[in-house]
Amino acid sequence: MEAAILILTLLFVAFVVLAVYAGVKAVRAAKRGVDRTITQARRSVEDTTLRAKSYGQPGVQGELAQLRLSLRTSMRATQDALNAGVAEDASLRESLELFERLSVHGRELDDDLRRLEREPDRATVATLLPGLKERTGRITYSAESLRWAARDRARRFADDDLAALNAEIDVEAGALRHWTTADGPGGDAGGPSRGEAAGPATSGAAGPTVGGAGPGRSGPAGTDTPQALTPPDPRRTGGYPWQKTARPETTN
């Protein structure tokens, strides 16, 4: 009796611990989701504000906003491309590490541009603009180089896979058309032609029937009848977007 009570107590404690652990995980996941949503919303608001400043404010303020917008757009596009490609191509991990190091410089530049937007001395900021433009161009050029290299690599792999697939399809298509090699000029000259192979079946259909077998029915037992090639049922094929659904036959 005491052993049963002890086992039940241990099971109850295990269930309580498991429930607490699951609750903590759920709360953390919800918090991460909320933080991600807030970050995305804040990023969208900042991008919209920068876009409005770059088009609506002339002079130093507009140029600073344009630099920040181009920097953020280029860095975000590169980050998305590398994160999407590293799941399929492990060799992009090194490129992703290089991008993380580049992101440090990008964040520092974005902070400098943000501080200069609040700088009241416009003349001093105007003198710093050439250096800021060169710095922004170097960072965005490196980010774009990584992004386009990753895209070219993925496209090259896709082209190689498509070329191999085309070669396999050509071989399969030739195997499906095996009768063309047998009946064509390169076929067996001594073998029976298609008309000769159909001759016995035609004569058998015109001759006397055995056991009520008429034209279109099987012949006597022990004889082989030619097998017709039956096309595949289109209704059994997969549902690709470029395939049409087979329509049922209707009788008037």
Which residues does 208 contact at the CB level (< 8 Å), separation at least 6? none
CB atoms within 10 A of CB 47: 15
Tokens 């491309």 belong to 81
Please, where are the H alpha helices in the chain? 2-56, 60-86, 92-117, 122-176, 178-183, 194-206
pLDDT of 192 reads 46
DSSP structure string for 195-210: HHHHHHHHHHHHS--S
DSSP structure string for 222-241: T---PPPPPPPPGGGS---T
- The stretches in the chain having pLDDT less than 50 are 187, 189-226, 228, 237, 240, 242-244, 247, 249, 251-252
- Record the pTM: 0.54
Give the H or E element holding residue 187: none
Tokens 């896979």 belong to 161
pLDDT of 108 reads 93
Record the tokens describing residue 77, joined without a space: 């596009």
Dist. CA 154–CA 152, nearest whole Å: 5
Give the pLDDT confidence of 66-75 residue by residue, as tens digits: 898 999 999 9
